[in-house]
Amino acid sequence: MSTSVTFDQASRTYPGSDKPAVDALDLEIEPGEFLVLVGPSGCGKSTSLRMLAGLEDVSSGQILIGDRDVTHVAPKDRDIAMVFQNYALYPHMTVGDNMGFALKIAGASKSEIATRVAEAAKILDLEDYLERKPKALSGGQRQRVAMGRAIVRHPKVFLMDEPLSNLDAKLRVSTRTQIASLQRRLDITTVYVTHDQVEAMTMGDRVAVLKDGVLQQVDTPLGLYDKPANAFVAGFIGSPAMNLGTFTVTDGKARIGEGHVPLPRSTVAALKGDQVQLGFRPEAMVLASEADEASFPVEALVIEELGSDAFLYGNLIGDELRADHVVARIAPRSVPGRGERVWFTVEPGKLHAFDAETGLALPTD
């Protein structure tokens, strides 16, 4: 039976610091949900996970697993299982013994241990490796053993801390698919920490974005992508990143490079001055002609040709943009040359606007 997890104003301040590593985190995780905590290094995501695991003290607030307050409960009594980025396998034990070790310590019978290990090995395609030692396995297989060790315990909650970061790029892609499908099958509430927003977007039912210990936004991957709550979330979610810059607004139009891009009336009405921070994703940029007043010229610097896609990295010409460059997705079979001037507009309805000072999203209806 799946269970919920609740962070209720949970904070963690380390001794000697006056700034919380996690600041009043409010988060409700549904039973059976796969929730991903994501953000840059030092944002508090691993500390949040360790607070839930009982490995870090909660300075204020509380944490609940189901209806049970576990804020001050010992880690071993929380009915959770953790998977770390380093597999932490015992090198002298076989795969089977590694997977069943926690059950052995808990006093389970040999037959129960054998049954649960066999079940987990079947789920993880490890049946042929149960008698091997960890050193005879690849990185991906070792991570599956670490997963198996968590699965055999039938915990209420899985906690995963960057479990794929030691794997190579190709293996990361296949293993994240396996973990996501495995979680759906087991229906165990899972909290997963990563700094990789692509991982977060492809695995999570919902994604919680943190910055400097503060929760910025929690939503479905598509919700974060389409309606970021602020400029930080907008720039963090998406690969390549959203183009963001601060522009001057005159007569309801933003000066982007040499172009004058009309803004929605709701955006103009919400402005506090003549500056606005605008964002537009690479796929929202549309090739245009110089004659279009709303178009702006970009000098092509680098073209990334990926076969099915191509990305143009360039600089705005005549811009007052406080950003290094813009990125546009273009047709892969007709790419411009380096140094060539290309004109773009932003697809209607795809412009994001943020307050130039606070970074909070402005209406664009």
Q: Please write the tens of the pLDDT for every residue from 261-285.
A: 999 999 999 999 999 999 999 999 9
CA 321/CA 340 separation, integer angstroms: 20
- Check whether residue 213 and residue 266 sit in a common domain: no
Boundary of a domain, candidates 207, 232, 257: 232
Q: Is 296 found in the same domain as 212? A: no
As a whole number of angstroms, the distance between CA 342 and CA 155 comes to 56
Residue 175 counted as domain residue: yes
Which 3 state secondary structure label does DSSP give 128? helix
Q: Are residues 67 and 204 in the same domain?
A: yes
Residue 88 pLDDT: 81
> Is there a domain that residue 202 lies in?
yes
- What pLDDT, on the 0 to 100 scale, is given for residue 320? 52
Of the three residues 232, 263, 286, the one that is the final residue of a domain is 232
Domain-located, residue 365: no
Rounded to whole angstroms, the Cα distance separating 140 from 126 reads 11
On whether both 44 and 160 belong to a single domain, the answer is yes
Judge whether 363 lies within some domain: no
- Listed residue (281, 277, 276, 292) closest to 344, CA to CA: 292
pLDDT at 57: 95
- Domain of residue 247 covers 240-355
Q: Both 247 and 205 in a single domain?
A: no
133 and 205 together in one domain: yes
What band does 227 get if pLDDT is binned at 50, 70 and 90? very high
Check whether residue 17 and residue 142 sit in a common domain. Answer: yes
Residue 16 has pLDDT above 80, yes or no: yes
The model's pLDDT over 22-79, given as tens digits with 9 standing for 90+, comes to: 999 999 999 999 999 999 999 999 999 999 999 999 999 999 999 999 999 999 899 9
**Measured between alpha carbons, how far is 196 from 208 in angstroms, rounded to an integer?**
13
Which SS3 state, helix, strand or coil, does residue 172 take?
A: helix
Q: Does any domain span residue 162?
A: yes
Q: Is residue 290 over pLDDT 70?
A: yes
- Could you give the C-alpha distances from 189 to 4, 184, 231, in angstroms and in order? 7, 9, 30
In a domain, 282, yes or no: yes
Query: For the chain, how many residues are written?
Result: 365
Confidence check: pLDDT of 330 > 90: yes
179, 255: one domain: no
pLDDT of residue 322: 45
| Inside any domain, residue 361 | no
266 lies in the same domain as 218: no
Where would I find the beta strands (DSSP E) of 30-83?
34-38, 60-65, 68-69, 80-83
pLDDT in the model for residue 74: 95
Q: In degrees to the nearest 10, what's the CA dihedral of 176, 181, 186, 191?
A: 40
How does residue 365 score in pLDDT terms, banded at 50, 70 and 90?
confident
- Please report how the helices 139-151 and 95-105 are oriented relative to each other, as an axis angle in degrees rounded to 10: 30
CATH number of the domain that 79 lies in? 3.40.50.300
Same domain assignment for residues 268 and 184: no
Domain end (from 175, 200, 232): 232
Q: Going by DSSP bridges, is the β-strand pair 189-194/157-161 parallel, antiparallel, or unpaired?
A: parallel
- Domain count across the chain: 2
Mean of pLDDT values over 288-314: 89
Residue 343 belongs to domain with CATH number: 2.40.50.140
Specify the pLDDT at position 321: 46
Find residue 311's DSSP bridge partners: 304, 329
**Sign of the C-alpha dihedral computed for residues 98, 103, 105 and 110 taken in this order:** negative
Instruction: For residues 115 and 90, state if they share a domain.
Output: yes
Mean pLDDT calculated for residue range 222-228: 96
Does 299 lie in the same domain as 213? no
Q: Which residues, 6 or more positions from 315, have their beta carbon under 8 angstroms from its beta carbon?
A: 298, 299, 301, 324, 325, 326
> Has residue 364 been placed in a domain?
no
- Burial string for 100-129 (b: 16+ CB within 10 Å, else e) reads bbbbeeeebeeeebeebbbebbebbebeeb
Query: 242: which DSSP letter?
Result: P
